[in-house]
Structure 1
Amino acid sequence: MYLTHTFELPPHLKKALKKATFLEKVTVVYLISVIVVMFLVMGSSQAMKTAWLEDLLSIVPSIAFLVSTRIYNRPANKKFPYGYHRVFSIAFLTGSLALFGMGMFLIVDSSISLISGERPTIGSTMIFGKQIWLGWFMIIALLYSAIPAMILGHKKQKPAKDLHNKILHTDATTQKADYMTAGTAILGIIGVGYGLWWFDAIMAILISISVIKDGYNNLTNAITDLMDRVPYKIGSQIVDPLLEEIEKTIAYWSWVEGFEIRFREHGQVYFGEIKVLTSEDNVEELITEGIKELKQLHWKIHDITIMQVKSLHP
């Protein structure tokens, strides 16, 4: 016998998911336009190339989130008895691995350009009879790649925390900090304009280091989540206070003489097992009521098993 019900978010979170989905669709369209614009004005600047590749890669989390939202609430079945909640964890891992891998590629590519002494050139073009430095177009493109992204990232942060969705939170945090990438690339372009050819590669390396740092941190979190690490509060290294609340609730149960809890993350929700010592006769009824009470604490508590044991330390 397998669970066949479909996971349902609380009504207020359905609105948050709808908002997040809309924002991610807008992000995909926006990033496609950024990728095209950046490619057209990129020239031979290493910093522009690095920023463009980062923008190209930044579309992955948005697509991963949109795909995951079509899968996560499918009913559990014989093949997947725990449901499809971990699709968000897989999406988080995929995006993190892509980010880290691209960062490693970029830092090697930028370092080679610096060591080999490649000198980027930014020419000029005639517009309405006036000579315009192409660097201005690059700077405008970089501002276009940063300012709307910062706004989108800011708007995604609240639904990401409300939904406890790490792929959405990572996307929001990265986009909110896009001004750093754009600012660094702009400095590289200005450096080339003043004849400091090496400045462009240095800025590209700095961007690469930032990409590697974000990729590494996200990759570490994604792997430890898949290894069933204790649930952490999203966006921090603090164990979710909800676990302490669960322990306090169980401690108030008069029929429980001792207990141990163990919880893990499955995407947005928590699965847990609780061992209890009890001498009560109607233990089955008490366990059923206990599960019901714990699930009412928070929507993230999705699947709980409470078992009676003779000893907590076998």
Structure 2
Amino acid sequence: MSLHSGIPRAIAADVRRGERLEYWTLGWMASVVLVMWLVMGASQAMKAAVIEDVLSLVPAVVFLLSVRWERRRPTARFPFGYRRANSLAFLVAATALLSVGGFLAYESVSTLIRQEHPTVGGITLFGHTIWLGWLMLAALAYSVIPPIILGRMKQPIAERIKDKVLHTDALMQKADWQTGLAGIAGIVGIGLGWWWADATAALFISLSIIKDAVGALKQAVAELLDGTPRALDSNELSNDAKQLVAALKARFGKIDVRLRETGRYIAVEVDCLPPDAIPTAAELMGDDLAWRLASLSFRPEPGDTGP
């Protein structure tokens, strides 16, 4: 039985807010990349920050594409619609986050092993020669501001619309501003003569990024393999999925319930005879979360003959 008849207006409005934030992300982060590239110099932390900022555009792009595909109507070739476009986008976003962390770790460790001593020279502006590090610090400070603002705005929206792509993008924004702070520490270290500070700062932040990325990648793979609905910030069963299982067992007794997540929606299969009165999504999940229940089907177990 299909229970999905479209998401409520409030959720649809949040999805559109998410889209607007992603367009703002593309614009702001493109400006950050340009500013960082202009003053990059030979700094390892700066180079890593630029590449990380470029890769941080990937989740924003795939979110916009997935939402566009999700709105398409079912076709003969795709009779269940395109709800799983969000699941595929989540995998791409998680992979991009892991790529960022892995690249930063590799570059940082390589620099420390080779004991490269980065140098930051001077630059002539308006007839005056100044240390390039000052411009790097200014660029890094600017690179921290947009991600902090955007990440904080995306997080509550991702929670309301149950969108793991937007949540992963918020994690990417966190990686952006953390990388910016690590870069500042690295440039200051170079100025003080600590050659290792630059790469160490980048390595420190890469480990945090990898940790978040591995968790997101596990969730993405589980979702594509018809796994049970996971929480946004962990690999544990989501609270609304637990609520749904409890409601079904309370109504039908000791039964087996299988849940799988398709994008932001949940499909349910129950091992029992179809009841005379099919419960509504609101009865099982409440009015606020009823939109998440896309389908509910009953499969009689062998030996069930009914009344």
The aligned residue for residue 169 of structure 1 is 167
Secondary structure of the 2:61 match is: helix
Q: Report the CA distance between 1:66 and its aligned residue.
A: 0.6
For 2:89 and 2:231, the matched residues in 1 are separated by: 19
Q: Report the CA distance between 1:295 and its aligned residue.
A: 7.2
Q: Report the CA distance between 1:149 and its aligned residue.
A: 1.1
> Any unmatched runs of 5+ in structure 2?
none
The aligned residue for residue 306 of structure 1 is 298
Is 1:266 the counterpart of 2:257? The answer is no
Q: Provide closer, same or farther for how the CA distance between residues 292 and 112 of structure 1 changes in structure 2, counting only shifts above 3 A.
A: closer
Q: Report the CA distance between 1:257 and its aligned residue.
A: 5.3
Q: Provide closer, same or farther for how the CA distance between residues 106 and 178 of structure 1 changes in structure 2, counting only shifts above 3 A.
A: closer
The aligned residue for residue 280 of structure 1 is none
Q: Provide closer, same or farther for how the CA distance between residues 290 and 189 of structure 1 changes in structure 2, counting only shifts above 3 A.
A: closer
The aligned residue for residue 286 of structure 1 is 277
Q: Report the CA distance between 1:291 and its aligned residue.
A: 6.6
For 2:245 and 2:214, the matched residues in 1 are separated by: 33
Matches within 5 A, 1:146-157: 146-157=144-155
Secondary structure of the 1:214 match is: helix
The aligned residue for residue 133 of structure 1 is 131
Offset from partner CA, 1:29-62 (integer Å, 9 cap, x none): 1111111111111000001111111101000000
Q: Report the CA distance between 1:215 and its aligned residue.
A: 2.2
Matches within 5 A, 1:1-314: 8-176=6-174, 178-253=176-251, 256=252, 258-276=254-272, 285-287=276-278, 289=279, 293-294=283-284, 298-310=290-302
> Are the aligned partners of 1:7 and 1:74 in contact in 2 as well (CA < 8 Å)?
no
Count of paired positions: 301
Amino acid of the residue matched to residue 259 of structure 2? F
For 1:137 and 1:292, the matched residues in 2 are separated by: 56
> Any unmatched runs of 5+ in structure 1?
278-282
Amino acid of the residue matched to residue 214 of structure 1? D
Q: Report the CA distance between 1:170 and its aligned residue.
A: 1.2
How high is the sequence identity, in percent, across the aligned residues?
Answer: 38
Q: Report the CA distance between 1:150 and its aligned residue.
A: 0.4
Q: Report the CA distance between 1:239 and its aligned residue.
A: 1.8
For 1:221 and 1:262, the matched residues in 2 are separated by: 17
Offset from partner CA, 1:230-255 (integer Å, 9 cap, x none): 112222344222233334433454xx
Q: Report the CA distance between 1:308 and its aligned residue.
A: 3.4
Secondary structure of the 1:305 match is: strand
Q: Provide closer, same or farther for how the CA distance between residues 139 and 133 of structure 1 changes in structure 2, counting only shifts above 3 A.
A: same
RMSD (Å), alpha carbons: 2.4
For 2:46 and 2:297, the matched residues in 1 are separated by: 53
Amino acid of the residue matched to residue 277 of structure 2? L
Q: Provide closer, same or farther for how the CA distance between residues 73 and 296 of structure 1 changes in structure 2, counting only shifts above 3 A.
A: farther
Q: Report the CA distance between 1:209 and its aligned residue.
A: 2.4
Q: TM (normalized to structure 1)?
A: 0.87
For 2:145 and 2:281, the matched residues in 1 are separated by: 47
Q: Provide closer, same or farther for how the CA distance between residues 295 and 215 of structure 1 changes in structure 2, counting only shifts above 3 A.
A: closer
Secondary structure of the 1:299 match is: helix
Offset from partner CA, 1:96-132 (integer Å, 9 cap, x none): 2222234323322332222223221111223344432
Q: Report the CA distance between 1:13 and its aligned residue.
A: 0.7
Structure with higher RCO (Cα < 8 A, 6+ apart): 2
Offset from partner CA, 1:171-193 (integer Å, 9 cap, x none): 11331453321111111111111
Q: Provide closer, same or farther for how the CA distance between residues 88 and 7 of structure 1 changes in structure 2, counting only shifts above 3 A.
A: farther
Q: TM (normalized to structure 2)?
A: 0.89
